[in-house]
Amino acid sequence: MMSSIQPSQIFSIKTTYSPSSINESSFAQIGQNWCMSQGKHWPSELTGNVVTKNLKLLHYPHWVVSGNGAALWDGSVGRNYNEVELCSRCSGRGSIVIGSSRSTCSKCNGSGKVNVTKTLWRREQGTVLAKVQGRVIENFSSAVKCGDRVLSANEYVTDSNALSIVPPSGSTPSHAIEVAKNTVMGDLKRNAEKIARGMGDQARDVNVLNANLTELDTRVWLYPIYEGYYSHEGENLPVQIDGISGVIWAKLPTVVKDGRLREARRNWFVTLLVIGAVISYFSLSSSRNVTAQNWMIAGGVTLAVSWFITWCIVLPTMRAIQKNK
Ligand SMILES: [Zn+2]
């Protein structure tokens, strides 16, 4: 893969930022709405004010990439076609003999023939272009939990020294140009695959060759996120509010998670017991010789199965889901 870059265009990284458009006086209300949506296990002493009172404005640097690319591509283009073949299950006889009985082959419905889709591959090549303009690269998908960034927000150039910036903020020019290069190359490759697919039904082994990348540019865009902690029963729980969309995320206290688990456990157990009892009742009452012992066995099995499903399947699943929140 060859590519040429004009070094003069790449060695300054401009920084822009979006100021927060959320009024800090609305945090308590945003927090309160969130608390109210947490259901009955939420501790009443945790108000919106308590949850959001220690938030600090941070800026998360995102890349904003522009650039053009032109390249050659080659690859395999596949055209699908149908062919009639002898059925492999009945060897074209249309029926299968087992012992003394003969039955119609279910694969070919007795015709002895099946339609097979095949692909004819041929090499193709051509040219491909890509144009990237102001694309925001999501840098912090795992650290930012309060929803997707609002990528249409206004940008302002500023003195970034005055802002609290979350690493990696010391983005080096060489890293910045790698990001731009990879973005435009990725588009060239995607576009080439699209062209190749359009020439047939499918494509594979598509390569981009002799790429010429021009006007590459990467800026750093500082995105406002309010971050902080709230405390409950010795736990420090992180909170984030998106400075533009106002979407809040906060970690749940253990007492809330435990309350939800207990409730779910009880609901599942009771539901399964009721289902088991109904099944037992109908299956036993339809048979003729039902003894007290039968009823006890059915009851025991229902209890054991309900217990097993609740504790060994439902609870571990719920804990795993909670862990990711
Ligand atoms: Zn057959």
**Final residue belonging to a domain, choices 251, 278, 293:** 251
228 CA distance to ligand 1 middle (Å): 68
Are 308 and 184 in a shared domain? no
Are 157 and 211 in a shared domain? yes
187 CA distance to ligand 1 middle (Å): 47
**Final residue belonging to a domain, choices 222, 251, 280:** 251
Are 149 and 185 in a shared domain? yes
116 CA distance to ligand 1 middle (Å): 13
pLDDT in tens, 176-189: 888 899 999 999 99
Tell how strand 156-157 and strand 248-250 pair up: unpaired
Distance from C-alpha of 245 to C-alpha of 58, rounded to nearest angstrom? 15
HSE (side-chain half, CA atoms, 13 Å) at 166: 18
Distance from C-alpha of 301 to C-alpha of 203, rounded to nearest angstrom? 55
Are 205 and 319 in a shared domain? no
User: Above 50 in pLDDT, residue 90?
Assistant: yes
Are 108 and 214 in a shared domain? no
Confidence at residue 171, expressed as pLDDT on a 0 to 100 scale:
60
294 CA distance to ligand 1 middle (Å): 49
Distance from C-alpha of 41 to C-alpha of 58, rounded to nearest angstrom? 31
User: Above 60 in pLDDT, residue 317?
Assistant: yes
Are 55 and 141 in a shared domain? yes
83 CA distance to ligand 1 middle (Å): 15
Ordered alpha helix ranges (H), 93-241: 173-198
Are 28 and 165 in a shared domain? yes
Are 130 and 275 in a shared domain? no
> Is the peptide bond prior to 168 cis by the omega test (within 30 degrees of 0)?
yes
pLDDT in tens, 201-253: 999 999 999 999 999 988 888 889 999 999 999 999 999 999 999 999 999 99
20 CA distance to ligand 1 middle (Å): 69
80 CA distance to ligand 1 middle (Å): 23
List 289's β-bridge partners, or say none. none
Number of domains, the chain: 3
Confidence at residue 149, expressed as pLDDT on a 0 to 100 scale:
86
The token duo for 273 is 């017991």
Are 109 and 206 in a shared domain? no
The parent domain of residue 297 ranges over 257-323
104 CA distance to ligand 1 middle (Å): 8
81 CA distance to ligand 1 middle (Å): 21
DSSP 89-121: TTTTSSEEEETTEEEE-TTTTTSSEEEEEEEEE
Distance from C-alpha of 104 to C-alpha of 79, rounded to nearest angstrom? 34
Q: How many CB atoms lie within 10 A of CB 323?
A: 8
pLDDT in tens, 153-178: 777 766 767 777 776 544 677 788 88
28 CA distance to ligand 1 middle (Å): 71
Are 106 and 208 in a shared domain? no
Q: How many CB atoms lie within 10 A of CB 308?
A: 12
Are 80 and 60 in a shared domain? no
**Final residue belonging to a domain, choices 251, 284, 302:** 251
Residue 17: band (very low, low, confident or very high) from pLDDT cuts 50, 70, 90: confident
Are 15 and 44 in a shared domain? yes
